A and B are shown apart, each in its own frame.
Chain A
Amino acid sequence: MAARQNRMILDQCEIPGIRNLAVARRYGAYTALAKALTTMTPDQVVEQITRSGLQGRGGAWFGTGLKWSFMPKEPRVESFLCVNADESEPGTCKDRYLIEKNPHLLLEGVLIACYAIRASTAFIYVRGEMWEGMEVLETAIRELVTANLCGKNILGTGFTINVHVHPGAGAYICGEETALMESLEGKRGYPRNKPPFPAAYGAFGHPTTINNIGTLGYVPWIINHGADAFKGIGDPNFPGTLIYQVSGHVNRPGLYEAELTVTLRDLIDMAGGVRSGHRLKAVIPGGTSMPLLTADDLDTVMSPASFAPRGSLKSGLGSAAVIVLDDTCDMVDVALNMMRFYRHESCGQCTPCREGTKWVCDMIERIHRRRARPGDLEVLEQVLVNVGDIDRFEFNKTICLFGVSFGWPLTMLIRRFRSEFEAAVAESTPAPVPLPVPASVLPAGDLRAP
């Protein structure tokens, strides 16, 4: 039996005029906020979310209630909520859709989260390119302030919550939660070393919770219907639904919302199957940072449960951006395309990633141009392991997970399609080894004055 979609989030997005506060309220928006503010304590909200089993949709699948429970109960300084809407993982496009279609669903989640973690300020960090989304959010927030659902003394309850929309500075790495906070503070988007963790030392040094904006979209439903009802949806270990973003060589690419019991085969079927006349070759299950699966893995249940840390798939559900590749794909092409992205997006702070991105990309570029030298493939594989060792995570060398975000998928890409790379090397005319760089010492006239 083919699995069906469960569109608890997406259906609401298609209600005409739902962007508008009046329409949204007619469909029940902000009843959960009123319920939380007037009948529940912050701890009760945290308890409900914890019991519901909601996990972060940003990629790391961390328990949302647990994350909220780390926040100080009697804060000495103001606590903050940072909402991650920097959505930049290749293939990922759920947050943008939700923001543009149903901002009030997300904002209600934002306000409830603020109440739960005792924050009076939320920053929504929106990817810099998402102009429309930012405008939609700004408009929605203005409506809320006018309706006294945001700002001072919300609904006469005495609570103050201010929501700010902050445009991202145009870097993928700013989606990493600590880089996001640095960027928010006006600094370079450099990820921080952890510890300290954000709940102790976050944005501007204040206790901070960072949530993916899509995660917060589930919060109003849970408050309205109760934790148990949510836990009853789909897999009790990974309850609720997930918006899978199926793209690539399928007939109907798009967003498909389903419970986390859906298989990869079901998802491809929902998307109308692989385009006709072609065979499936590989699938990237959760954005390009997740190692790809092959046609043999179609029965994989698309849930974090299938991707145990030491499991045989050696991949992850990530952002649930499912990229389908058919037999027209040359895997060296795929590797180069991916690697150009990562070379461009490394923040350059830590050595293995800054130097590794260029080295790896240069080598793949040469293999792609058929100018490889014998032994290149082995060096390439070793360098990838030196950045992010897929077999031994405890030997990870980088500050943030960006290193493994290209180290792992490329290692697995080469492992799973090694013959294509070997063929490219075999076809190659070896490139000459470049001359050493000219000595750094330049005639005085060549020194560029500041």
Chain B
Amino acid sequence: MPTMVIDGREVTAPPGANLIEAAKLAGIEIPHFCYHPALKVVASCRMCFVEVTQEVRGKATTRLTTACNTPAADGMVVRTDTQPVKKAQNDILEFLLINHPVDCPVCDEAGECKLQDYAFAYGTASSRFAEHKRFRHAKKLGSGIRLYTNRCILCDRCVRFLRDFVGTGELSVTDMGNGNEISVFPGRPIDNVLAGNLPEICPVGALISEDFLFKARVWNLSAVDSVCPGCSRGCATSLDVKDNEVQRTRARENQAVNGYFICDDGRYLYHVIRHETRLEHPAVREGDQLRESNWDHALDVVVSRLAEFPERIVILLSPFLTQEEVRAGADLSEVLRGSVLGHVPNAVQEAPVLFPGGFAIDGDKAPNSTLVKNIAPVPLQELAITKDTVVLFFNSSLRTGSVSPLDAEKLRRAGFVAVIDVLRNDITAVADVVLPGRMWAEKSGTFSNSAGMAQSFGAAVLPPPFTRDESDVIRDLTRRITTRISTGCGAKS
């Protein structure tokens, strides 16, 4: 492991690390645009200059070099703060800014822009450039991505990402020299499920997400660490919130799972939180009508049914529940002795995808299948459901179609179905009691991904007022049932 000195601090870097990574270990930031740890190094922006003193043929020589393509080597002495380094950084920023529109006031990237940050930290406030700036039209590139061409600093990150990491290669550089421009081929827009990462990969506000366009200034957002419920992969995400609404999802680095990226399905999944089919009030069936009700009444209806037929209770759990909820559901079935515990497998299954860069999307579009199958191993299809059965189904599914037609058919055979769910679906339409639950962004919890890794997340937004946390509902049911038991009303002996 090479040991070197960076700005007077001794650093031991892992083999193969470049100077940017080595300096990071010492808490020193070397400014960079084109370098991205997940992408091939091109060393073309020339922002990352450092001064390296090294022995060459027995003589100590000092030179200015780009840190991103210089491997850490034993005995190197690196300075990131000398006058020549500062001058180089300032020169590069001056070059990058001469043709840049500096329209930060209307740029979505402002506040998280490397160009803006570095211009403050390493640049000069005024410009010596007094020629006509290059002007280029903005373009729609496809998959909800726009290129504000004037803002592009041609760092080539987007091109490398699509070509080498995603493998689709829709973007390339066209024209030459000062005319270089990021483009798609005519009629061949960006079309891949990792495209939503582009605005995050772009170090400036050139690649912009249409989903987030003009929605919020980033300094007004508060970021909450979350885990994507989109598939059993469990990518690390950040939910960015303003006015109690998720404004966008960003990828969070987690080398054990998703690296630096997330897929578009997971990125845009946050729209279900405020979906028009969201369940917001408890409802109880009266004849062939579901009537809006209140929690007290709805739970009483459920508990009286449970008390009536204690030996015919089936408790069903879905893979959309958190680990805590699955455990609480299992506990409830303990309390309701004689009840049967099972699960409803997620029916939304797609072919898994593996990208050349190593990023993987799982085929099971639910976050917690591994755990639910562990704790409630029996699938609904193996359970007996008759018109006497009382079903308590904790679903809270984010996906339409997550209950297979076969399972739905089977559930319809039950004499009584109470369901906790978040969106209106086939089951909520026929259930006897519908209880509105909460989505992952509205509660804290843990998902166990397909590799069995448990990952916790926090609540990002306040839920709709009349919804309740699934664990809380289970606790309430347990309390109501045990009260009945202790008062001897219809409890098992």
Q: Footprint of B on A, CB under 8 Å?
A: 171, 188, 193, 343-352, 354-359, 362-363, 366, 373, 379, 386, 394-399, 433-434, 436-442, 446-450
Taking CB atoms, residues of chain A closer than 8 Å to B150 are 437, 440
Query: In the complex, which residues 130-155 of chain B have their Cβ closer than 8 Å to any Cβ of chain A?
Result: 130-135, 137-142, 146, 148-151, 153-154
Q: How far does the Cβ of B309 sit from chain A's closest Cβ, in whole Å?
A: 60
Interface residues on B, range: 35 or more
Given the known interface contacts A348-B178, A450-B142, the answer about A355 and B133 at a Cβ–Cβ threshold of 8 Å is no
Q: Footprint of A on B, CB under 8 Å?
A: 42-47, 49, 62-64, 66, 69, 84, 88, 91-92, 94-96, 98-99, 101-103, 106-107, 128-135, 137-142, 146, 148-151, 153-154, 156, 173, 175-180, 183-189
Taking CB atoms, residues of chain A closer than 8 Å to B103 are 439-441
Taking CB atoms, residues of chain A closer than 8 Å to B142 are 450
Taking CB atoms, residues of chain B closer than 8 Å to A399 are 43-44, 46
Taking CB atoms, residues of chain B closer than 8 Å to A447 are 137-140, 146
Return the 10 tightest CB-CB contacts between A and B, nearest first.
A348-B180, A346-B177, A355-B95, A362-B131, A358-B178, A348-B177, A440-B148, A386-B91, A437-B133, A439-B103
**Interface pair B177/A434, CB less than 8 Å apart:** no
**Interface pair A352/B46, CB less than 8 Å apart:** yes
Given the known interface contacts A355-B99, A397-B91, A438-B135, the answer about A346 and B128 at a Cβ–Cβ threshold of 8 Å is no
Cα of A447 to Cα of B136 in the assembled complex, Å: 11
**Interface pair B133/A348, CB less than 8 Å apart:** no
- In the complex, the chain A residue whose C-beta lies closest to that of B95 is A355
Taking CB atoms, residues of chain B closer than 8 Å to A373 are 130
Given the known interface contacts A386-B94, A386-B95, A450-B186, the answer about A354 and B46 at a Cβ–Cβ threshold of 8 Å is no
Given the known interface contacts A437-B133, A439-B101, the answer about A448 and B178 at a Cβ–Cβ threshold of 8 Å is no
**Interface pair B45/A350, CB less than 8 Å apart:** yes
Cα of A362 to Cα of B128 in the assembled complex, Å: 13
- In the complex, the chain B residue whose C-beta lies closest to that of A171 is B176
Given the known interface contacts A348-B178, A441-B103, the answer about A397 and B139 at a Cβ–Cβ threshold of 8 Å is no
| 12 examples of A-B residue contacts, CB within 8 angstroms | A345-B177, A351-B44, A351-B153, A359-B95, A362-B131, A433-B130, A437-B150, A439-B106, A447-B137, A447-B140, A448-B140, A450-B188
**Interface pair A395/B176, CB less than 8 Å apart:** no
Cα of A358 to Cα of B44 in the assembled complex, Å: 17
Q: How far does the Cβ of A442 sit from chain B's closest Cβ, in whole Å?
A: 5
Q: Which of A345, A356, A363 contacts B95 (CB 8 A)?
A: A356
Cα of A446 to Cα of B140 in the assembled complex, Å: 10
Most buried by B among A346, A348, A440, A447: A440
**Interface pair B101/A363, CB less than 8 Å apart:** no
Cα of A450 to Cα of B175 in the assembled complex, Å: 16
Given the known interface contacts A440-B107, A442-B138, the answer about A357 and B69 at a Cβ–Cβ threshold of 8 Å is no
Cα of A359 to Cα of B91 in the assembled complex, Å: 13
Given the known interface contacts A343-B177, A362-B132, the answer about A450 and B101 at a Cβ–Cβ threshold of 8 Å is no
Given the known interface contacts A348-B154, A350-B44, the answer about A395 and B64 at a Cβ–Cβ threshold of 8 Å is yes
Taking CB atoms, residues of chain B closer than 8 Å to A188 are 173
What 19 new A-B contacts, CB under 8 Å, besides A397-B92, A447-B137, A450-B185? A188-B173, A346-B176, A347-B176, A348-B180, A355-B99, A358-B178, A386-B94, A386-B95, A395-B84, A397-B91, A399-B46, A434-B131, A436-B101, A436-B102, A437-B133, A440-B101, A448-B138, A449-B139, A449-B140
Q: Which of B135, B141, B178 contacts A450 (CB 8 A)?
A: B141
Cα of A378 to Cα of B43 in the assembled complex, Å: 29
Q: Which of A171, A346, A436 contacts B133 (CB 8 A)?
A: A436
Q: How far does the Cβ of A95 sit from chain B's closest Cβ, in whole Å?
A: 23
Given the known interface contacts A358-B134, A397-B91, A434-B131, the answer about A344 and B177 at a Cβ–Cβ threshold of 8 Å is yes
Cα of A447 to Cα of B208 in the assembled complex, Å: 13
**Interface pair B131/A363, CB less than 8 Å apart:** yes
Given the known interface contacts A397-B49, A440-B151, A442-B138, the answer about A450 and B92 at a Cβ–Cβ threshold of 8 Å is no
Taking CB atoms, residues of chain B closer than 8 Å to A433 are 130
- In the complex, the chain B residue whose C-beta lies closest to that of A398 is B46
Cα of A351 to Cα of B115 in the assembled complex, Å: 13
**Interface pair A397/B88, CB less than 8 Å apart:** yes
Q: How far does the Cβ of B67 sit from chain A's closest Cβ, in whole Å?
A: 12
Cα of A343 to Cα of B140 in the assembled complex, Å: 29
- In the complex, the chain A residue whose C-beta lies closest to that of B155 is A351
Most buried by B among A355, A396, A434, A437: A355
Q: How far does the Cβ of A107 sit from chain B's closest Cβ, in whole Å?
A: 32
Q: How far does the Cβ of A361 sit from chain B's closest Cβ, in whole Å?
A: 9
Cα of A45 to Cα of B84 in the assembled complex, Å: 45
**Interface pair B95/A352, CB less than 8 Å apart:** yes
- In the complex, the chain A residue whose C-beta lies closest to that of B71 is A195
- In the complex, the chain A residue whose C-beta lies closest to that of B156 is A349
Taking CB atoms, residues of chain A closer than 8 Å to B141 are 450
Cα of A359 to Cα of B127 in the assembled complex, Å: 13
Q: How far does the Cβ of A328 sit from chain B's closest Cβ, in whole Å?
A: 29
**Interface pair A379/B128, CB less than 8 Å apart:** yes
Q: Which of A344, A351, A440 contacts B46 (CB 8 A)?
A: A351
Q: How far does the Cβ of A291 sit from chain B's closest Cβ, in whole Å?
A: 21
Q: Which of A348, A355, A394, A449 contacts B64 (CB 8 A)?
A: A394
**Interface pair A349/B44, CB less than 8 Å apart:** yes
**Interface pair B131/A359, CB less than 8 Å apart:** yes
Q: How far does the Cβ of B91 sit from chain A's closest Cβ, in whole Å?
A: 4
**Interface pair B98/A355, CB less than 8 Å apart:** yes
Taking CB atoms, residues of chain A closer than 8 Å to B153 are 351
Cα of A244 to Cα of B132 in the assembled complex, Å: 41
Taking CB atoms, residues of chain A closer than 8 Å to B95 are 351-352, 354-356, 359, 386
Cα of A379 to Cα of B131 in the assembled complex, Å: 12
Q: How far does the Cβ of B136 sit from chain A's closest Cβ, in whole Å?
A: 9
**Interface pair B91/A352, CB less than 8 Å apart:** yes
Taking CB atoms, residues of chain B closer than 8 Å to A379 are 128
Cα of A363 to Cα of B129 in the assembled complex, Å: 9
Taking CB atoms, residues of chain A closer than 8 Å to B149 are 440
**Interface pair B46/A397, CB less than 8 Å apart:** yes
Q: Which of B128, B137, B151 contacts A448 (CB 8 A)?
A: B137
Cα of A266 to Cα of B336 in the assembled complex, Å: 109
Q: How far does the Cβ of B110 sit from chain A's closest Cβ, in whole Å?
A: 12
**Interface pair A450/B180, CB less than 8 Å apart:** no
Taking CB atoms, residues of chain B closer than 8 Å to A438 are 135
Taking CB atoms, residues of chain B closer than 8 Å to A347 are 176-177
- In the complex, the chain A residue whose C-beta lies closest to that of B62 is A394
**Interface pair A450/B189, CB less than 8 Å apart:** yes
Taking CB atoms, residues of chain A closer than 8 Å to B49 are 397
Q: Which of A171, A349, A442 contacts B137 (CB 8 A)?
A: A442
Cα of A359 to Cα of B184 in the assembled complex, Å: 27
Cα of A346 to Cα of B173 in the assembled complex, Å: 14
Q: How far does the Cβ of A56 sit from chain B's closest Cβ, in whole Å?
A: 22
Most buried by B among A348, A351, A354, A437: A351
**Interface pair B135/A437, CB less than 8 Å apart:** yes
- In the complex, the chain B residue whose C-beta lies closest to that of A394 is B63
Most buried by B among A347, A348, A437, A450: A450
Q: Which of B64, B84, B92, B99 contacts A352 (CB 8 A)?
A: B92
- In the complex, the chain B residue whose C-beta lies closest to that of A441 is B106
Cα of A355 to Cα of B96 in the assembled complex, Å: 7
Cα of A188 to Cα of B101 in the assembled complex, Å: 27
Q: How far does the Cβ of A434 sit from chain B's closest Cβ, in whole Å?
A: 5
- In the complex, the chain B residue whose C-beta lies closest to that of A353 is B177
Taking CB atoms, residues of chain A closer than 8 Å to B64 are 394-397
Cα of A395 to Cα of B103 in the assembled complex, Å: 32
Given the known interface contacts A386-B95, A448-B137, the answer about A359 and B129 at a Cβ–Cβ threshold of 8 Å is yes
Q: How far does the Cβ of A149 sit from chain B's closest Cβ, in whole Å?
A: 39
Cα of A450 to Cα of B187 in the assembled complex, Å: 6
Q: How far does the Cβ of B204 sit from chain A's closest Cβ, in whole Å?
A: 11
Cα of A194 to Cα of B159 in the assembled complex, Å: 21
Taking CB atoms, residues of chain A closer than 8 Å to B128 are 379
Q: How far does the Cβ of B29 sit from chain A's closest Cβ, in whole Å?
A: 19
